[in-house]
Amino acid sequence: MMTEMVRKEAEGTLIGLTPEERLLLKHCFIRYAGQPMEEAAPVRLLAGRLSGAECRIAVLGLRQKGWLDAVVKTWGERLLFIPAVRLPGLYRLLLSKERGTPDAGGQPETLLEAGEGMEARLLHVLAWIVRNGLPLTSKGTVHKRALTRMNELSPFKESSLRSLGLQYAHSDIYSLPAAVLLDLLLSLGLLVKDTSAYTVHTPALFSWIRLPQTQMSRWILLTVMERYGRSNPAAQHVRGLLCSAGTRTEEWLAVDPLLELLRQAEAVVDLDLREEADQWMTVLAEFGLADKGMTDAGSLFIRWRIPAAEMLKPDFSPAEPEQNGFYVQPDFEIIVPPECGFEIRWLLECCAGQTSAGRMSMYRLSRESITEAVESGMELQALEGFLMAYSFNGIPDNVLHAIRQWAGGTARTSFAAVTLLRCRSREEADIAAGDPRLSGLLERLGEHDFIIPPGEEERVRKALAAIGLTPRKGTEGSGSSVPSFPLPSQESLGTSAEPEHADFYAEGRPGLVYSGKTLHFYDKDAEVPSPESFFPGRSSVPSSWTSQLRSYHPSTARQIMEQAVEWQTAVMLRSGDQDMVWLPEAVSGGAEWQVTGWFRSPEGTDRQAKTVLKPSDWREMRLLLPIPLV
Write out pLDDT tens, residues 177-212.
Answer: 999 999 999 999 999 998 899 999 999 999 999 998
% of the chain beyond a pLDDT of 70: 90
Residues 523 and 79: their CA atoms lie apart, in Å, by 10
pLDDT of residue 527: 81
Q: What pTM was estimated for this model as a whole?
A: 0.82
Q: Phi and psi of 202, rounded to 5°?
A: -60, -45
Strands (E), 365-402: none
pLDDT of residue 492: 57
pLDDT of residue 501: 44
- Lowest-confidence region among 37-41, 62-66, 103-107, 380-384: 103-107
Q: Predicted confidence band at 490 (pLDDT cuts at 50, 70, 90)?
A: low
Residues 102 and 269: their CA atoms lie apart, in Å, by 27
Which is higher by pLDDT, 69 or 498?
69
Cβ pair 58, 20 in contact under 8 A:
yes
Find, among 395, 287, 289, 390, the residue nearest to 341 by Cα.
Answer: 390
Q: Evaluate if residue 83 carries a pLDDT over 80.
A: yes
Q: Phi and psi of 21, rounded to 5°?
A: -65, -40
pLDDT of residue 102: 45
pLDDT tens digits, one per residue of 509-564:
888 998 777 777 788 888 888 888 899 988 889 989 999 899 999 999 999 999 99
Task: Please give the mean pLDDT across all residues of the chain.
Answer: 87
pLDDT of residue 630: 63
Cβ pair 472, 465 in contact under 8 A:
no
pLDDT of residue 11: 59
Buried b / exposed e over 191-222, threshold 16 CB at 10 Å, is bbbeeeebebbeebbbbbbbbbbbbbbbbbbb
**173: helix, coil or strand?**
coil
pLDDT tens digits, one per residue of 278-330:
999 999 999 999 999 999 888 999 999 999 999 988 888 876 656 689 999 99
pLDDT tens digits, one per residue of 3-27:
455 555 555 678 889 999 999 999 9
pLDDT of residue 15: 84
pLDDT of residue 499: 42
pLDDT tens digits, one per residue of 123-161:
999 999 999 999 999 999 999 999 999 999 999 999 989
Buried b / exposed e over 489-515, threshold 16 CB at 10 Å, is eeeebeebbeeeebebbeeeeebbbeb
pLDDT of residue 398: 96
Cβ pair 591, 31 in contact under 8 A:
no
Q: Evaluate if residue 480 carries a pLDDT over 50.
A: no
pLDDT of residue 446: 87
pLDDT of residue 415: 61
Q: Predicted confidence band at 474 (pLDDT cuts at 50, 70, 90)?
A: low
The stretch 329-349 carries a mean pLDDT of: 94
pLDDT tens digits, one per residue of 208-253:
999 988 999 999 999 999 889 888 899 999 999 999 999 888 899 9
Q: Phi and psi of 238, rounded to 5°?
A: -60, -50
**Furthest CA-CA distance within the chain:** 114
Buried b / exposed e over 583-597, threshold 16 CB at 10 Å, is bbbebeeeeebebeb
Residues 451 and 13: their CA atoms lie apart, in Å, by 67
Q: Evaluate if residue 262 carries a pLDDT over 60.
A: yes
Instruction: Name the DSSP letter for residue 550.
Output: B
pLDDT tens digits, one per residue of 394-453:
999 999 999 999 887 665 555 667 788 988 889 989 999 999 888 888 989 889 899 988
Residues 513 and 223: their CA atoms lie apart, in Å, by 12
pLDDT of residue 226: 87
Find, among 586, 543, 581, the residue nearest to 566 by Cα.
Answer: 586
Q: Phi and psi of 35, rounded to 5°?
A: -80, 155
pLDDT of residue 493: 64
Amino acid at 326: F
Q: Predicted confidence band at 481 (pLDDT cuts at 50, 70, 90)?
A: very low
pLDDT tens digits, one per residue of 595-619:
999 998 877 677 888 999 999 999 9
